[in-house]
Amino acid sequence: MKAFVCLFMALMVYGCDAASKECADIPTQSHTLRAELLVSKNQTWKNDLMQQYQLKPADELAWQDLHPNPKRSLSEQQVKDWDIMYKKVTNTSAFKPPVGFLKEVPLGDVKLLEGSIHAVGQQTNLQYLLMLDVDRMLWSFRSTAGLPTPGTPYGGWEAANIELRGHFVGHYLSASALMWASTKNDILKGKMTALVDGLSACQQKIGTGYLSAFPTEFFDRFERVTFVWAPYYTIHKILAGLLDQYTIGENPQALKMVTWMVDYFYNRVMNVISQFTLTRHYESLNEETGGMNDVLYRLYSLTGDSKHLLLAHLFDKPCFIGVLAVQANDLANFHANTHIPIVVGAQMRYELTGDPLYKDVATFFMDLVNTSHSYATGGTSVGEIWRNPKRIADNIKSPETEESCSTYNMLKVSRHLFRWTKEATYADYYERALTNGVLSIQRGTDPGVMIYMLPLGLGLSKAKTYHSWGTPFDTFWCCYGTGIESFSKLGDSIYFEEDGKSPTLYIIQYISSSFNWKSGKVLLTQTVVPSSSSDPFLRVTFTFSPTEKTGASSTLNFRLPSWTHADGAKAMLNTETLPLPAPGSFLTVTRQWSASDKLTLQLPLTIRTEAIKGSFAKI
């Protein structure tokens, strides 16, 4: 193992120059296009696209000659810096894991208050999760394993002839674990346990550790760099779902399944590298792989197995990380949701290894998206792609703006950054993207009816986009998977704890909820008054119920959003008016909280316009 790691490092430093040049999908394609391609009867169109996949296992000369694409915006100096970046990418021995990050609070300790918009969204999603049938979700997995297949498979992107089948099942594993933690619904617990049991039976029948709703032949095609619809994307969803079933759903069987799966894929990747080159492996990553690096880093954090760390690093996609490492403004024409998860994985690498390069990469990426590729809603992309940052106004002419999956993953990026820095700007972004890009994708209280894209142009409607509204049993787009996860974890980014001499809590979202703050020995409840045009203020009331008499003080930090202003803002603790800092910071209050305490916030709401980034237009 040690010898291989040394060889891997040498290849990264000296042999990756070729692999770092082609860094886009081959060709760049949206999930929508791939779905159309699979079901189309237009063989001429299919052949035309397939011809763009021409690299074969023996075409080594084609791999040796790749260089930074001249169409990309890397300067000569940035190209020279590239090799230095690779050395930094592989050098982790000099760093220690960072400390002092804010801590997530358990979902089970946060309860959304009944009747709030967030609680309604959560309940609608719970109804949908309970509607779905375990046998139908398992159908393609059982078929692949050679087991009996009772019932019929679902339709849409989970249909038996769709190459991405199984992806939604992975999302369901994550969503059900998150929802169970949030609600402790016993029926849902039974469903998710039965699903894990059924998947385990499939894995046992295959006998190699492999587990998927499609055959291993898809990975043969992936490794040959021939057309296939993102098999590692689906494997990431299954791995992440099983890992969530273990860490959140409290199912120890799921971790055994994950480690067996990862052993299988570790051997596959090592075989590609030894049989061909490391370059060949990196070229195959031009196909979308989801958050493989992220889930493998998460697994390493649990197991400490160096194989898991190494495999995670092999999915870091260094050609894209390298673009960000040299701080090139070069996102145009990349498929957005192929690459946002790579950054989330880079953030996990920083948290586990302490390598500051990955912190810098994530910080630069977030700033770049926000300054050059975002709408006022916090969303990004058009037709799933980042386009010319100087012509974003052109994007809103299309109804296919702001893919929901991209918002889901950008929320993860901002969440990590806030935990690292405690900067209110990242919490502001989270609020904006959650409110506009998540709460908006359900159709009222109709379970299982969601959208793919959020249209932003004048006269456009969610119902009149290319995708329109989905259906509960015959859609299952990628955004259905991220959608059910998002509505299952609405309580996960309201409160964050900070370690210290005394209990400290950050309240970054104003969402009607209660939080059993165990380290602070108090049950905190915040109630948000629904906003209306007749009352131009956000009004929030906090009450406190001590769970123990400790005689100790604790500290609460309340976010003052950047969108408000000082004139008219007010904070009161019982009858005392508190001095407020400037918007975009935190109001800090330390005291021994009692049942008689009440803290209220009054924050002015304003109507304003924001210029589209890189354009003189307004939205």
pLDDT at 59: 33
Q: Give the integer Cα–Cα distance in Å for 56 and 223.
A: 9
Q: How high is the pLDDT of residue 61?
A: 33
Q: What is the reported pLDDT for 18?
A: 30
3-state DSSP call for residue 358?
A: helix
The predicted structure's pLDDT at residue 163: 96
Neighbours of 422 (CB within 10 A): 18
- Per-residue burial over 317-335, b if 16 or more Cβ lie within 10 Å, else e, is bbbbbbbbbbebebbbebb
**Whole-model pTM above 0.75?**
yes
* Cα(343)–Cα(60) distance, integer angstroms: 29
pLDDT at res. 22: 43
Both tokens of residue 430?
């989270």
DSSP state string for 434-483: HHHHTTTSB-TT-TT-B-SB---STT--GGGSSS-S--SSS---HHHHHH
Nearest Cα to 388, choosing from 400, 373, 405, 374?
373
Token digits of residue 446:
């109709």
Q: What is the pLDDT of residue 6?
A: 39
Q: Do domains 110-486 and 495-604 have the same CATH topology?
A: no
In this structure, are residues 169 and 153 in contact, taking their beta carbons and an 8 Å threshold?
A: no
Which residues in the chain come in under a pLDDT of 50? 1-22, 24-25, 27-28, 49-72, 74, 82, 85-86, 89, 617-619
Q: How far apart are the first and last CA of the chain?
A: 55
pLDDT at position 14: 30
What pLDDT does 63 receive? 28
Q: What is the pLDDT of residue 232?
A: 97
Nearest to 287 by CA among 47, 70, 44, 55: 55
DSSP codes, 363-427: HHHHHHHHHHSB-TTS-B-BTTB---GGGHHHHTTSS-BSBHHHHHHHHHHHHHHHHHH--HHHH
Partnered with residue 600 across adjacent β-strands are 541, 572
Q: How far apart are CA 450 and CA 471, in angstroms?
A: 8
pLDDT of residue 319: 84
For position 21, what pLDDT does the model report? 32
Of 1.10.287, 3.40.1130, 3.30.200, 1.50.10, the CATH number of 110-486 is 1.50.10
| Domain spans, the chain | 110-486, 495-604
Alpha-carbon dihedral angle through residues 220, 223, 228, 234, given to the nearest 10 degrees: 90
DSSP secondary structure of 488-508: T-TTTTSEEEE-SSS-EEEE-
Q: What is the pLDDT of residue 111?
A: 98
- What is the per-residue pLDDT for 79? 52
C-alpha 404/C-alpha 441 separation (Å) is: 8
Helix boundaries (H) for 304-335: 306-314, 318-325
Rounded Cα–Cα distance for residues 594 and 393 (Å): 52
Question: Which residues neighbour 425 within 8 Å (Cβ) at sequence distance 6 or greater?
Answer: 562, 584
**How many whole angstroms separate alpha carbon 62 and alpha carbon 194?**
48
One-letter amino acid for residue 143 of the chain = S
* Cis amide prior to 604 (ω within 30 degrees): no
- Rounded CA-CA distance 596/462 in Å is 46
Pull the structure tokens for residue 345: 């994985």
Q: Distance between CA atoms of 82 and 318, rounded to whole angstroms?
A: 10
- CATH topology classification for 495-604: Immunoglobulin-like (2.60.40)
- Look-up of token digits 């997530």: 104
Rounded Cα distance between 308 and 299, Å, is 7
The Cα 489–Cα 508 span in angstroms is 15
- Strands, DSSP E only, in 499-553? 504-507, 513-517, 522-529, 537-546
Phi, psi (deg, nearest 5) at residue 35: -65, -40
- Tell the burial category of 366 from Cβ atoms under 10 Å away from its Cβ (0-12, 13-18, 19+): buried
- pLDDT, position 318: 85
